[in-house]
Amino acid sequence: MNEAKPYVLDLSEVGSGDVALVGGKCASLGELFRELTLQGVRAVDGFSTTSHAYELLLETDGLRKRLQKLLKGLDVNDIEKLASVGEQARALMLETPFPKEVEAAILDAYERLGKRIGKRSFEVAVRSSATAEDLPDASFAGQQDTILNVRGDSKLIEACHQCYASLWTDRAISYRTTKGFDHFEVALSIGVQPMVRSDAACSGVMFTLDTESGFRDVVVINGAWGLGEAIVQGMATPDEWIVYKPTLKQGFRPIITRKLGVKEVKMVFADDDTGTQVREVVESQRKRLCLAGFEVLQLADWACKIEDHYSKNAGKPTPMDIEWAKDGVTGELFILQARPETVHTQKRENYIETYELTGVHGAPLTSGVAVGERIGSGNAHVLHDAAKLASFKQGDILVTTQTDPAWEPIMKKAAAIVTERGGRTCHSAIISRELGIPCIVGTGDATEKIKNGSPITVSCAEGDVGNVYYGKIDFKVKRQKITSDARPKTQVLMNVGDPDHAFSVSRLPNDGVGLARLEFIINNHIGIHPMALVNYPNLRNRGDVETIANRISEEDPKEFFVRSLAEGIGRIAAAFYPKPVIVRMSDFKSNEYAMLLGGREFEPVEENPMIGFRGASRYYDDRYKAGFRLECLALLRAREDMGLTNIKPMIPFCRTVEEGERVIALMAEYGLVQGENELEIYAMCELPSNVVFADEFLEVFDGYSIGSNDLTQLALGLDRDSEMVAHLFDERNGAVEKMIAMAIDAAIRKGKKIGICGQAPSDYPEFAEFLVKRGINSISLNPDTVIQTTRHILETEKALAQSAKTQ
């Protein structure tokens, strides 16, 4: 080896400052192995070739000049010409003899590595590492090849030669040109590491931010059976977990989301003991998460340490994109590589963009995992074969099974992307985020359900589930500028029901959540009546038993409810932590509860459910008491296990003071003890009795939240669902305003907090002005009215202050 210009370095000799020498990936691998292992992160040993080795190859037989001649005048938008040039460039690389000096250095390093790990002729991963890779504004991830399960001297040199040639794939040539990089200013190095036997276990990818909203306080982990390439290439729809970083660092167990992926296939070692192959995953494995909870928390802890390390080195917050694997032989977890995240890190947006469908549409043609929160429409272009990319037109919607880097030249032409396989960290998802286009992955049947050439709309604006509709559906885009205006004395909270949108709306200027409805989570994320789960499998309707069995899989039915509800609540609470999040306990009416799976068996048929068996009266009744216990256990888990003590339960439709005392005693029996661990329990002020006996109610509860919808209908004696008297429904009616004023006055007398969470302050600025003048503590608004109403509140407070000075 030329000592002045080394061709190979062990990873222990490489650090983050050596990008120009070993490329971004290998510099990161060296940093991980050399620095992060000291912090308890289990990284993998190995070695890297240097840029000197690549330069020597380019000088062999005039290779550089031949490549320059071949690439001159290339238009990368000409797909056919790009493919031809790319093929010729790779052929030139492979035809050029591999420099003997480089070969000797690689084999010597392979032998030394074997001695360090106690093995001979062992399988390794051969990973490409470009000198322009993993930059803040250009990731280059996946542009060059990684070759897995390589064993023996001759196979190793052959794999290294292939890696060098992969610098000239069509997608790599196109990407460099698009990003403005000179082809010959980018060199390639090769990282070689022992294989972690994840072929016998699982592997995946994790990000230290939410990949859709950019929310910085979570770790998102994807995992599937077998080698990680199946996830990266979008072959398998993975399991997903989201872990909240701040309370994880405090020692809690804040897994706030877990989703079971289909995990259709897995990549394993080939039968001939070299290379890899893809196999179908057996049904029992598909129905099981590939990681245990403690392993998820271990990976999240390592992700935090890696992010903290790189952030310290960079002198600024640096979210990370990390690959991990579990060894099926030893059972150990490993970190394979880490690089800076490049999509959200580069955004400098000071606004929130909200997409909403406004046109009429039918049922979805297909659904999958939403990537981003945008909407796009165009003509469907169903493609099964990468060889036919040239037929793709600008503005078409790409519909295919899965994508890999070879598809990138046409992906930048697409109005949207829909795939049958993959998760939020697969190739399709990563590239669509970078391009800023909507994408739905993991549909399972898109190429069957969507007709080639048909007009379709791809909507990622309806939560975590993305939908594809027939036709070009009208939609609107609303931009809300995020300002650093002064905060009003009156707290501005938000009404947030959907956990899937919580991370996004938390960016708005706010003081917390004034109303988080359990009903939304129960209805959309659980869908089963709590008492049906309590009594499962002893239900009269055997069809319900079968449906519930399929939905809960092998999980205990009561645990399914508690876990799902705790995670939904936890995701909202985490989005706003440490600001208060007021969670209203379930307030379904009996007719609404009956619509849940298994619900009809447990619900009465009432003439007027609006003022019937609802709210607090249900909680201590034997017909629902066991269901309320599950609700309490979910809140307890979110507070105690996840560390989200900003959660404050609120009791709806509490008719009498005695009923309030009874409910609070029952909550204590189920572990939610008022006053312990900063637990406050609020009540809805939505009945005339809540106003008339406000002083007495506020002896029992820690605060009030005015429900102006129910208070209005009960004060005026009308059914708000009746179109015949709907014209009389008005929160600004004098009788209603007088009752609200009485409630505020009582709270001020008792020194208790009082807010409002009804619709009126969002709809009527003058009503919000009335509340501020009366001295209300907080106003909870729909997210789309927060900025506008906050400014109006500031103006009102300023006017009141000026008026007070002149008196």
CA angle 21, 22, 27 (to 5 degrees): 115
How many residues make up the chain in this entry?
807
The per-residue DSSP string of 470-497 comes to ES---EEEEEEE---PPPPSSEEEEE--
Task: Tell me whether the omega of the peptide bond preceding residue 578 falls within 30 degrees of 0, making it cis.
Answer: yes
Q: Which residue has the tokens 């939410």?
A: 210
Q: Extract the tokens encoding 664.
A: 């609070």
C-alpha distances (whole Å) from 221 to each of 33, 311, 317, 374, 559 are 21, 20, 19, 23, 22
CA 444 to each of CA 228, 278, 426, 441: distance values in angstroms, whole numbers, following the listed order = 20, 17, 15, 8
Token pair listed for 354: 């909200």
The answer to whether residue 757 is catalytic is: yes
DSSP labels, 505-535: HTTSS-S-EEEEEHHHHIIIII-B-HHHHHH
| Residue 7 contacts residue 49 (beta carbons within 8 Å) | yes
Q: Is the peptide bond before 537 cis (omega within 30 degrees of 0)?
A: yes
> How far is residue 163's CA from residue 144's CA, in Å, rounded to a whole number?
7
Question: Is there a catalytic annotation at residue 427?
Answer: yes
Beta bridge partners, 458, equal: 376, 468
Residue 597 DSSP symbol: B
Q: Which amino acid is at 439?
A: C
Q: Are 502 and 568 contacting, i.e. CB atoms less than 8 angstroms apart?
A: no
Partnered with residue 493 across adjacent β-strands are 780
Nearest CA-CA partner of 778 in 494, 484, 498:
494
Intra-chain end-to-end CA distance of the chain, in Å: 89
Tokens of 54: 């690549």
Radius of gyration of the chain measured on its C-alpha atoms: 30
Q: What DSSP line would sit under 635-675, residue for residue? A: HHHHHHTS--TTEEEEE-S--SHHHHHHHHHHHHHTT--TT
Cα–Cα distance measured from residue 292 to residue 241, given in angstroms and rounded to the nearest whole number:
11
Tokens standing for residue 735: 């009788």
Residue 303 structure tokens:
């992700």
- H/E stretch holding 702: none
Q: Kindly list the distances between the CA atom of residue 646 and the CA atoms of 148, 505, 574, 624, 638, in Å, as whole numbers in the listed order.
A: 47, 17, 9, 27, 10
Distance (Å, whole) CA 19 – CA 598? 60
426, 439, 685, 757: which one is catalytic?
757
- What does the alpha-carbon distance between residue 142 and residue 509 come to, in Å, rounded to a whole number? 38
- State how far the Cα of 271 lies from the Cα of 154, in Å rounded to an integer: 19
- Judged by DSSP in three states, 690 sits in helix
Spatial CA neighbour of 803 closest among 749, 734, 745, 795: 795
Cα–Cα dist 572/510, whole Å: 14
Would you say 455 and 481 are in contact if contact means Cβ atoms under 8 Å apart?
A: no
Q: In what order do the strands lie in the sheet with 333-340?
A: 255-259, 239-244, 218-225, 202-207, 320-326, 333-340
Here the tokens at position 299 are: 């990976």
| From 161, 309, 344, 427, active-site residue | 427
Rounded to 10 degrees, the C-alpha dihedral 172/175/180/186 comes to: -20
Say if residues 287 and 554 touch (Cβ distance below 8 Å): yes
Contact 463, 521 (CB under 8 A): no
Provide the 3-class DSSP secondary structure of residue 6: coil
Question: Could you give the residue numbers annotated as active site?
Answer: 427, 757
